[in-house]
Structure 1
């Protein structure tokens, strides 16, 4: 390794650790230390720095690398500043110290989800600038707030603003899942999340009576249908060894009853479902059928969960062609999937911006949202080198 590259690696690791030490953790996140850190880092690279403050206390950071042709749509490289809470007594390393162990693993909340990506984007651009590369298209590196609590006051609001529209984004990279071996996992869409609230109503009375048409009997029927379906999906997941083609379904809330000797007139069940886009209509028809079969007085609250589109990954998408070509030249295959969870990417797709969810951090145990979240130094640095090739290809598409 030459001295210049070694110096760049040292700078990148130190910047990553500094970012991890900022406790931008829910609830009540203070984003200003992140904003200050990112401003200093961006200006050290020679990039333009802007903050959108359309939502009070939820700033969006935009770092801009100007391209040669300002008439072209731009590339957006997105990550988020916020991280989920920690149970510090369950960690072997303090979650905001960015300790490095003897194996080169850097520990910290956000190490995988997803402070790594923001630093990897910027450090890849630093290397490209040092190599005198100027992109054809302008590149915006964006740092969103609020992603870990749904993104409504982050990317969801941001894409509707004039500030964002002036960025003229034609293609976006967002967070994704880690690949294995020589395979890069690429997410072109996300499952639709539905919060399903089922009301089971019936005859009420004394707890000593065996009444007909009770809410509890209908609850039993509904639970049986939902959990039989869940078991089928679990079997499919085990057989296929992947999650993008299955619907996840879990009971998360139960309400009802006033006291032990009173049969209640209603139970309310809350379910969390994550549905592949192609299965949404069939799933909704199925669960409404179950409610009808359960008997009179069983219904589902109207869903307010919005559908969001997928990105076409065909040869008509010049950005996908550029991404795929760069991956192939590095010796990687691509595995195209629907993401099992939700990210800011859904808001970009809803705004009709083609978006890929992607992480360059290969062969890494998934620790996002878990105790002892970490990323290995070598994996982190290799991710920067992957981004150098990917960003070059996208910016010149």
Structure 2
């Protein structure tokens, strides 16, 4: 942003789309290993945008190429606790051949949307945060309290090289921070012309990624083998993939169903999942997985030649457990797998759940209502996980609040890790206005 642009009164709304497009064009695909192509470049881009308006951002590289950017904005009242606004710069990989409209790293604007990998997960929020911060600093509007902005590496693989690295090695960056906001919350769900609900993420499931191993007897493929590792593992994988874990309603999900039921004028029964989910439309995918623990097989590996029975077979499973139901989850897993399957955790993290109350929640509601008279904020649980898990170790109370007003027909849940990912241009501009109000109200 040049001095000329500033003189012309360029606002956060004016530049949020370009910021989002530029971030999408930086390929920050996270393949789940030590590599992180593009993360350093993205961290440097963010640092340049922050430095341009007078901040002194720092880049932290936890491993070659794996970089995060952090800056602190001084508030007008140093006696107040600070607020953390964090987002991740990495994205899941995208196969361009699967995308039917625009290439995944093009950042093209078409049909009223910005298209590309990361458009909703979560370079939209990164762009909104940058736009708001830049606008406020250009116009000399300091926040009421200190704000720490963090743009992080590696969230899509558990945060080891991003949030976890900073929490373990640079916790002084977050001195005085008591609350934080980040992704997958604050988006709208249209009930009617008179009511639009905005889902605030106050809970998220825990994760346990695991490797399953079965040992058998190696031998010639032409022989009869009762001790076949692939057969044993396949049966276990099929059992776990088809298992229906029992419905367990946490306080967050109960509150969500009650609020949604009131808005719909009906009572929603979590025990009747089919009927309940039919009422949820496009957000059914997000909500359905928060009614129980889950375990989904994602990878299989065995053998090296068609006529050789291998001595070992392995599989990977993505397991998620509800707050308060971790022990039940593992007990169910071991019963389903049986004694011949070795289970080994590859990455684990805790479940989170906080209450839907306090001044920060009130600030969310008031800032949404100011921009959308039909708005009502309600709590919900995220079936996935975020970097809030790492910041929780510092006592930072986390919420998902990346405000977007969405068209009712948009399959928002399907955008996450999906093809043809996109975010409405007007949704980005709405988010900038809401976040700006939220900072003043918080």
TM-score relative to the length of structure 1: 0.82
Structure 1 stretch 381-390 or stretch 200-209: which is displaced more? 200-209
| Aligned ranges 1:207-286 → 2 under 5 Å | 209=224, 218-219=232-233, 222-223=236-237, 225-230=239-244, 238-241=274-277, 242-243=287-288, 244-256=290-302, 267-286=313-332
CA offsets 1:119-173 (integer angstroms, 9 cap, x no match)? 2113223444577643221012211112223321111111112354454321111
CA offsets 1:166-212 (integer angstroms, 9 cap, x no match)? 5432111111154322221122232222234444456788865585x
- Which of 370, 377, 381 does residue 418 from structure 2 map onto? 370
CA offsets 1:64-99 (integer angstroms, 9 cap, x no match)? 321122243211111122223332344432333322
Tell whether 2:143 aligns with 1:125: no
The separation in 1 between residues aligned to 2:171 and 2:325, in whole angstroms, is 35
SS at match of 1:323: helix
The aligned counterpart of 2:13 is: 9
Inter-CA distance 388–199: structure 2 relative to 1 (3 Å threshold): same
Q: Is the 8 A contact 1:311 1:349 kept in 2?
A: no
| Aligned ranges 1:1-397 → 2 under 5 Å | 8-26=12-30, 28-91=36-99, 92-101=101-110, 103-128=111-136, 133-162=141-170, 164-177=172-185, 178-181=187-190, 182-200=196-214, 209=224, 218-219=232-233, 222-223=236-237, 225-230=239-244, 238-241=274-277, 242-243=287-288, 244-256=290-302, 267-291=313-337, 294=338, 297-303=339-345, 305-315=347-357, 317-327=358-368, 331=373, 332-363=375-406, 364-366=410-412, 367-394=415-442
The separation in 1 between residues aligned to 2:315 and 2:16, in whole angstroms, is 48
Structure 1 stretch 381-390 or stretch 321-330: which is displaced more? 321-330
CA offsets 1:24-77 (integer angstroms, 9 cap, x no match)? 334542344334432332244443423234544323212332112224321111
The separation in 2 between residues aligned to 1:8 and 1:269, in whole angstroms, is 47
How far the C-alpha of 1:347 sits from its partner, in A, is 1.2
The separation in 1 between residues aligned to 2:308 and 2:130, in whole angstroms, is 62
The separation in 1 between residues aligned to 2:424 and 2:349, in whole angstroms, is 36
The aligned counterpart of 2:262 is: none
Inter-CA distance 79–275: structure 2 relative to 1 (3 Å threshold): same
Inter-CA distance 44–90: structure 2 relative to 1 (3 Å threshold): same
For structure 1, the 5+ residue unaligned runs are none
The separation in 2 between residues aligned to 1:32 and 1:266, in whole angstroms, is 39
Inter-CA distance 71–59: structure 2 relative to 1 (3 Å threshold): farther
The aligned counterpart of 2:266 is: none
Q: Larger Rg: 1 or 2?
A: 1
Indicate the RMSD between aligned Cα atoms, in angstroms.
3.5
Structure 1 stretch 74-83 or stretch 362-371: which is displaced more? 362-371
Aligned pair count? 385
Inter-CA distance 164–88: structure 2 relative to 1 (3 Å threshold): farther
Inter-CA distance 179–300: structure 2 relative to 1 (3 Å threshold): farther
TM-score relative to the length of structure 2: 0.74
The separation in 1 between residues aligned to 2:218 and 2:37, in whole angstroms, is 46
Inter-CA distance 148–350: structure 2 relative to 1 (3 Å threshold): same
Structure 1 stretch 146-155 or stretch 124-133: which is displaced more? 124-133
Q: Is the 8 A contact 2:367 2:434 kept in 1?
A: no
How far the C-alpha of 1:21 sits from its partner, in A, is 2.7
Q: Is the 8 A contact 2:209 2:318 kept in 1?
A: yes
